[in-house]
A and B are shown apart, each in its own frame.
Chain A
């Protein structure tokens, strides 16, 4: 039937026209021209130069101050604190988020409901509110420690303000918030893995936790990494919010300085430059992680289709 369709195709006039020219050389096909690309590039470059020059000539920006503060110890200390804060809260958020995702998917009805509630709550509360709340925890609980439930009897306790420093409170707030998002990212990663993979590891009698760490997670990572990269960059930037409780990170320090020397724009630009640098490094790290976990998947389409027949 298919063969007869093809035979009817040969009779089409346009087809024989094409066939007549079949001795023409088609071997060297060049790509299409794209003059639009050069025009767009020129347009954007001019626009950028214009904006840059208006910034450069702007009398309201004191470039010496930017240079001076860019590498000052106070600012560098702030950068270190920002990095530390973001890194610690991200690590905790990933661990906690993985737990929440596993609870949701395989924790039975009780833990699954708990996980759902957690995600619902901490995605609904604005991060800024959470940060202010954690920073003022001492107003709610004067002391924290180990107590007998439902009584006021402490076995061990310390004043809240002695542990919940602004720095710790920031990490707690960022972790609680970010864990909710990480739980959803990791859950979607786990669900993206083909059900056959679970069947196969079960049929190979692998214990559930080994199948999770050796089969499911390595494949889920491909899906998890890109949004997690965004999350990391988000968290780095979100650390600036803790300036409201004086978290002593980059923005807090920049603002403290500008509060005394009144160079508001200059110090904001210093902070901005540092955020740009940190976020770029994080983005580069993501690229290498993606390559690492893409193993066995990348370029598979092209090579897998090579017909290999063996008797």
Chain B
């Protein structure tokens, strides 16, 4: 049985329907890349999965449990905030803007959630934190504050922080979109290691290469619905739907244009000096 299943998931913000009947499933140990144009509902879908947003209708099954809802004789009713808090524990999340706690050191960021949600001792939490920091290659940044880290380092700390709670599923909401281009690689390589260690992951991303290399499955979304889903190669290299083809084509064009016009400081400074 898949680790995660959504059935007919819908969600509206006022008049605007952002999710329109999302059905997909994710097997244990697999990586799904959720792609699509902005405003297609990718992030909202991810936020609904760990109950940061509440779906209006439909079901989310995680690890055999119905998320956020209990059935009563009068139909489904939303769970209490406390009960949802417990359900979230199995799901880690990494945000586009990192969302590290700026008033705590790197160690504090990793220890505090463990102590206050898992209830482990501070010593055990610190041991786990060191382990996870080593895993993302930041063992030397234990005492730094987030403001003193680069974007790539912040995102790796955020990944380590989520891993400390030993989640069964990791959600990544555009984890490299806020990064300078030269810092994207270090985050993707940590995510690749994580996938290889067998973590189940749902990744909202624009990195097609990552989706091909690491992800088994791609869900392509547009206008709140799933346009196409299947194995990565199939969806990305030979898409069946025109909508997917158009998006990938346009996406590749803008990428190539960006590479061509890339500002090269060494060239331009030569230009002025000569």
Given contacts A2-B261, A309-B150, contact A218 B103 (CB under 8 A): yes
* A6 engages B103 (CB within 8 Å): no
Q: Tell me if B230 counts as interface (CB < 8 A to partner A).
A: no
List B137-186 residues whose CB lies under 8 Å from chain A. 137, 145-150, 152-153, 161-162, 165, 182-183, 185-186
- A272 contacts the other chain (CB 8 A): no
Assembled-state Cα–Cα distance A293/B148 (Å): 17
Interfacial chain A residues near B72, Cβ < 8 Å: none
A208 lies within 8 A of B149 (CB): no
Q: Taking the complex as formed, is B112 at the interface, i.e. its CB lies under 8 A from any CB of chain A?
A: yes
User: What string of 1s and 0s marks CB contacts (under 8 Å) between B199-233 and chain A?
Assistant: 00000000000000000000000000000000000
By the criterion CB–CB under 8 Å, are A200 and B116 in contact?
no
Within the complex, the shortest CB–CB distance from A311 to chain B, in Å, comes to 7
A308/B88 in contact, CB under 8 A: no
Q: Check B162 against A6 for contact (C-beta < 8 Å).
A: no
A132 CB within 8 Å of chain B: no
User: A310 CA to B180 CA in the complex, in Å?
Assistant: 13
Interface string of A195-234 (1 = CB under 8 A from B): 0110111111111101000110011000000000000000
Stretch in contact with the other chain, from B4-12, B127-135, B266-274: B266-274
For the complex, is A296 an interface residue (Cβ under 8 Å from B)? yes
Q: Do A296 and B117 have beta carbons less than 8 Å apart?
A: no
Q: Which of B13-21, B33-41, B94-102 participates in binding chain A?
A: B94-102
Interface range on chain B (Cβ under 8 Å from partner): 35 or more
Docked complex: B215-265 residues within 8 A CB-CB of A: 261, 263-264
Whether the Cβ atoms of A206 and B145 lie closer than 8 Å is no
Q: Which of the 9-residue segments B24-32, B61-69, B78-86 touches chain A? A: B78-86
Closest residue of chain B to A311 (Cβ to Cβ) is B186
The answer to whether B117 and A204 have CB atoms under 8 Å apart is yes
Q: A203-B50, A205-B88, A207-B85 are in contact. Are A214 and B153 (CB under 8 A)?
A: no
What is the minimal beta-carbon distance from A39 to any residue of chain B, in angstroms?
41
Whether a CB of chain A sits under 8 angstroms from the CB of B194 is no
- Decide yes or no: A297 and B147 within 8 Å by CB, A6-B272, A214-B116 being known contacts: yes
Whole-angstrom CA separation of A296 from B104 in the bound complex:
7
Is B147's CB under 8 angstroms from A200's CB? no
> Does A57 have its Cβ within 8 Å of any Cβ on chain B?
no
Selected contact of B185 from candidates A205, A295, A303, A311, CB within 8 Å: A311
CA distance A295 to B104 in the complex (A): 8
Interface size in chain A (residues, C-beta < 8 A): 38
In the assembled complex, the CB of A8 is this many whole angstroms from the nearest CB of chain B, namely: 10
Q: Are B103 and A219 in contact (CB under 8 A)?
A: yes
- Which residues of the partner chain A approach B45 to less than 8 Å between Cβ atoms? none
A304 interface residue (CB < 8 Å to B): yes
Closest to B104 in A: A296
Contacts of B137 in A (CB 8 A): 310
Contact B97 A196 (CB under 8 A): yes
**By the criterion CB–CB under 8 Å, are B146 and A308 in contact?**
no
Q: Closest residue to A22 on the B side, CB-wise? A: B273
- Indicate if the CB atoms of A10 and B145 lie closer than 8 Å: no
Whether, in the assembled complex, B93 has its beta carbon less than 8 Å from a beta carbon of chain A, the answer is: yes
Instruction: Check A309–B183 contact: CB distance below 8 A.
Output: yes
Contact flag A300-B148 (CB < 8 Å), given A206-B116, A207-B82: yes
Beyond A199-B95, A205-B86, is A296–B162 a contact (Cβ under 8 Å)?
no
**Which chain B residues lie closer than 8 Å to A148 at the CB level?**
none
Is B103 within 8 A of A296, CB to CB? yes
A265 to chain B, nearest CB (A): 49
B31 to chain A, nearest CB (A): 19
B120 within 8 A of A: no
The reply on B89 being an interface residue by CB < 8 A is yes
CB of A281, distance to nearest CB on chain B (Å): 27
Q: Out of B52, B95, B116, which one reaches A207, CB within 8 Å?
A: B116
Q: How far is the CB of B258 from chain A (nearest CB, A)?
A: 12
- The reply to whether A203 and B267 form a contact with Cβ atoms under 8 Å apart is no
Interface members, chain A 273-288 (any B CB < 8 Å): none
Establish whether residues A196 and B95, one from each chain, have CB atoms under 8 Å apart when the complex forms: yes
Please indicate the chain A residues that have their CB under 8 angstroms from the CB of B88 in the complex: 202-203, 205
Cα-based distance from A311 to B152 in the complex (angstroms): 10
Contact B99 A296 (CB under 8 A): no
Picked from A10, A215, A219, A309, the residue with its CB within 8 Å of the CB of B271 is A10
- Whether B150 contacts A297 by the Cβ 8 Å rule is no
Cα–Cα, bound, A194→B150 (Å): 19
Q: Does A1 contact B (CB under 8 A)?
A: yes
Contacts of A30 in B (CB 8 A): none
The answer to whether B117 and A203 touch across the interface, beta carbons within 8 angstroms, is no
Select the residue from B51, B99, B137, B149 with max chain A CB neighbours within 10 A.
B99
User: Is A46 interfacial (CB 8 A cutoff)?
Assistant: no
Which of B50, B52, B92, B113 gathers the greatest number of chain A CB atoms within 10 Å? B113
| A6 partner, pick from B89, B186, B271, beta carbons under 8 A | B271
Top 8 nearest A-B pairs by Cβ distance? A300-B147, A200-B99, A203-B93, A196-B99, A204-B113, A205-B89, A308-B150, A296-B145
With A6-B272, A205-B85, A296-B145 given, can you name 11 additional A-B contacts, CB distance below 8 Å? Answer: A2-B261, A2-B268, A196-B97, A203-B50, A204-B117, A215-B101, A219-B102, A296-B102, A296-B104, A304-B148, A309-B182
